[in-house]
């Protein structure tokens, strides 16, 4: 966490791939206080590993910070780096979750990946690191089951 931020406040080129993206963190401004941080990415795009066609998802990422929080510009660049990467829905969702967990070591993390239909079937992928810490209010993701999501 003592690293200098390399992206915030600077013009930064879009990373060529998720592996090349730098996910940065900053110190938690309220250490010792349990609270939820939510990132919503309703226009996530990646590529189907079989057809090369675009796949779309609506992600809701909730976490209870430990010592660090995600620097949001770096998260945006990381998520955008998937636009030219190929991956199955399950692999992509879990890779994002694990990368965030590795970067900030949160007290709790949950990701909900609501994927738009492929072949007429929406695929939703959910993952969490453990139990929600006591006393934490974790709201519903706010994304309904598929009915032409929006």
Question: Which residues participate in catalysis according to the annotation?
Answer: 48, 55
- List Cα–Cα distances, 56 to 48, 115, 116, in angstroms: 10, 6, 6
Give the up-direction half-sphere exposure of residue 133: CA atoms within 13 A in the CB hemisphere: 15
């Amino acid at each position: 966490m003592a690293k200098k931020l390399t992206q915030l406040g600077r013009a930064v080129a879009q990373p060529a791939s998720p592996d090349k993206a730098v996910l940065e963190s900053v110190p938690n401004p309220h250490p010792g206080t349990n609270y939820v941080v939510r990132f919503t990415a309703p226009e996530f795009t990646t590529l189907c590993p079989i057809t090369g066609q675009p796949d779309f998802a609506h992600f809701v990422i909730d976490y209870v910070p430990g010592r660090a929080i995600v620097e949001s510009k770096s998260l945006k660049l990381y998520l955008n780096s998937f636009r030219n990467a190929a991956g199955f829905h399950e692999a992509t969702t879990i890779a994002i979750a694990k990368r965030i967990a590795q970067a900030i070591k949160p007290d709790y993390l949950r990701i909900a990946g609501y994927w738009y239909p492929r072949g007429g079937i929406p695929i939703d992928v959910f993952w969490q690191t453990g139990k929600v810490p006591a006393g934490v209010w974790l709201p519903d993701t706010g994304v309904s089951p598929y009915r032409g999501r929006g």
